[in-house]
Amino acid sequence: MEKKKIEPKEEKFEGLVKEMLMLLGENPKREGLERTPARVAKSLRYLTQGYQMDPREILNHAIFKEPYDEMVIVKDIEIFSLCEHHLLPFYGKAHIAYIPNGKIIGLSKMPRLVEVFSKRLQVQERLTTQIAECLMNALNPKGVAVVIEALHLCMSMRGVRKSDAYTITSSMLGAFRKDARSRSEFLSLIRLKKEA
């Protein structure tokens, strides 16, 4: 069987992982770790593929003129990201709302937008703001609201070791920042649980 050729960049990445394993006191040649450098390189490429995605490209082909002017919410969007401070995962749910101003967006694009920004090294605060600002710039709606609830493994596995401590961040723009009723309606609607 012919051995797969490794790109120079991948080879360097794998070499760094091997070196890290040795610095941890491991033997990268032992059976369970032999293919770990390649797996880690592939995994990190996947988990950070958001750097290769342009959010404007995703949104531009899915914006439509529509006179609808009530709140649109997509909630419970699963997120998985890597904390830029420890390279450990954080995961949870994103809830997004906007109030159209003559334009709407294809609903599937909101989870796609979350994926673009979450598949980068992140802090939850920035992730929340990036999603809100991107939607605001693309649609020019009356308002955008984003709430993210996440569990951070850097807090659960190390440091304070609080495994049930969720972090909640929000970004309220336009009508959601200025109008307490819109903000309150959004927050109450995302708290509603689905019927079993």
Q: Which of the residues are catalytic?
A: 83-86, 124, 152, 154
Reduce the DSSP state of residue 143 to 3 states and report it. strand
Q: Which pair of structure tokens corresponds to residue 4?
A: 């797969």
Position of tokens 């020019």? 140
Q: 3-state SS of 35-95?
A: CHHHHHHHHHHHHCHHHHCCHHHHHHCCEEECCCCCCEEEEEEEEEEEECCCCCEEEEEEE
Exposure on the CB side of residue 22, measured as CA atoms within 13 A: 7
Q: Which pair of structure tokens corresponds to residue 155?
A: 């807090």
Alpha-carbon span 115 to 53, nearest angstrom? 9
Query: Of 174, 173, 156, which is closest to residue 164 (Cα–Cα)?
Result: 156
Phi-psi region of 92 (alpha: psi -120 to 50; beta: other; left: phi over 0): left
Neighbours of 124 (CB within 10 A): 20
